[in-house]
Amino acid sequence: MKKFLLLGLFSLITSNIYAQEDNNDYETKPGERYGYIIDKGGKKIEGVVHLNGGYSSPWQNQLKVKFIAVSDIDKSKKRMKFKTYDADEIKEYMLYDGDTERHFESVKYTNTRESLNSSESSTGLGAGFKALNNLTRTSQFAELVTDGKIKVFKIYGYPTAFSAGSTRAITQQETDRLMNNPYYIYSKRGAKAEDLTPAKVKMIVADCPYTKAKVTKGEYGSLKNEEKKRTGLGKFIKNEIDNATVDKLSIVNEVIYDYNENCK
């Protein structure tokens, strides 16, 4: 019912905006979507969300978001004055991408895996900058992949050129790798966000007889290709890097889905 009321409100606003556009009194920009924010006090404020990042720079959406409340929209002006929030200032933001709701929640998480990847794939000052970018980002907006008792989020690594004052341009190769290899993290019943790995999945679903039995019997295909064990510090680091290539989304859609649907 709340969703229908929200959509009804947005439809009314949209009609007014389109009417303004016909008179050249209102101007929209790419990246603006209707949605809401949840402030630190838990209050939902409806309005217009403007994403900082696009398809080729999704990591930008993890640091800040621009928003204007419905009550602050001045339909007599062509441009709206957005306020910028970072992940320490609000709990969540949501926007409609077509008929799909995209939720971004503020989480405390340090991407040590991408820092290891930086050291492995780069050398010299560039590797240091990139590792620093990922190690110093703690409060971030992570996009919600699945909701429930176990929440799973998608998060991207930051490129070398993202450091303050850097004049280095991000390469297409680096862009493609970051775009196509998001990291998945989880939070169980509101606990601290952690990396989602096959080994951890087995532990976090073990308190439910239903999922524990299926894991024990080997009924989850997404867990059958778990990487082989390695020994030694060097092999441990390499194992951590390789873990990023595991098909986490299949684990989410199969194991985490089962837990959220069947366990108390």
**Strand order, beta sheet including 183-188:** 83-86, 64-69, 44-50, 32-39, 90-97, 100-108, 139-146, 150-155, 183-188, 194-195
Tell me if residue 254 falls in helix, strand or coil: helix
**C-alpha 176: how far from its chain's center?**
17
Residue-level pLDDT at 62: 95
Q: Tell me which residue has tokens 């998060």.
A: 155
Residue-level pLDDT at 101: 97
pLDDT tens per residue across span 202-225: 999 999 999 999 999 999 999 986
Structure tokens at 216: 């024990």
Please name which of 179, 201, 216, 204 lies closest in space to residue 251, comparing C-alpha atoms: 201
Residue-level pLDDT at 26: 37
Length of the chain, please? Answer: 264
pLDDT tens per residue across span 64-77: 999 999 999 887 87
Please name which of 70, 74, 56 lies closest in space to residue 8, comparing C-alpha atoms: 70
pLDDT tens per residue across span 14-56: 444 443 333 333 355 778 999 999 999 999 999 999 999 998 9
**C-alpha 191: how far from its chain's center?**
17
pLDDT for residue 60 is more than 70: yes
User: Which bin fits 207, alpha (ψ -120 to 50), beta or left (φ > 0)?
Assistant: alpha
Q: How buried is residue 30: exposed, middle or buried, by Cβ count under 10 Å (0-12/13-18/19+)?
A: exposed
Residue-level pLDDT at 172: 87
pLDDT for residue 133 is more than 70: no
Residue-level pLDDT at 131: 53
pTM: 0.78
How far is 136 from 234, CA to CA, in rounded Å?
24
Cβ count within 10 A of residue 106 = 21
pLDDT for residue 104 is more than 50: yes
Q: Tell me which residue has tokens 């019912």.
A: 1
Residue-level pLDDT at 153: 98
How far is 160 from 164, CA to CA, in rounded Å?
10
Cβ count within 10 A of residue 79 = 10
Please name which of 74, 76, 75, 79 lies closest in space to residue 32, comparing C-alpha atoms: 79
Residue-level pLDDT at 10: 52
Count helices and strands (H / E) in the chain: 9, 10
Structure tokens at 19: 């009417």
pLDDT tens per residue across span 164-204: 444 456 788 888 988 998 999 999 999 999 999 998 999 99
Per-chain mean pLDDT for the chain: 79
